[in-house]
Amino acid sequence: MHLARLIRLGRIRPQWSADLFFSETEWAGAFILNKKKPPTKVPRIREVIHLIAQLGGFLARKGDGEPDVKSLWLSIQRWRDFVSGVEHMREIRHVM
C-alpha cells in the first residue's frame, strides 16, 4: 500500500478496522515492536498507523496530530522486515 494513501485513510477513516488493510501478523507486529501487548480484538487503522510511525520517530503525544510521510517511510521497512521474519518462522513451523 502506498504511504500517502495509508496516511490519508488513517486521517479520514480512523475508525475503520485495521484488518481491512493489515493482516493479523502485521497489526500485531506493530504492537510488539512498540513493546505493547497486542489486543485480543482488531484495533482501528489509526492506532496501527500511529504505532508503525512511532518506529520512525513519531512521538504520538496528545498535541502532535497525525504522522507524516517521513516518519512512516522511516519505520515501514523495519516493520515489514519483522513481519516477514515472523511469517517465515511460522512457515518453517518455528512458531513464536
Predicted TM-score of the model (pTM): 0.89
Reported as a single tens digit per residue, the pLDDT across 15-36 is: 999 999 999 999 999 999 999 9
What is the phi/psi pair of residue 44, to 5°? Answer: -80, 155
pLDDT band at 96 (very low <50, low <70, confident <90, very high): low
Share of the chain above pLDDT 90, in %: 79
Residue-wise DSSP of 24-44: HHHHHHHHHHTT-PPPSS--B
Q: Specify whether the CB–CB gap between 87 and 26 falls below 8 A.
A: no
3-state helix, strand, coil in the chain (%, to 5): 60, 0, 40
Q: Which CATH number is 3-91's, of 3.40.50.300, 3.40.109.10, 1.20.1260.10, 1.10.740.10?
A: 1.10.740.10
Domain boundaries, the chain: 3-91
56 close to 30: Cβ distance less than 8 angstroms: no
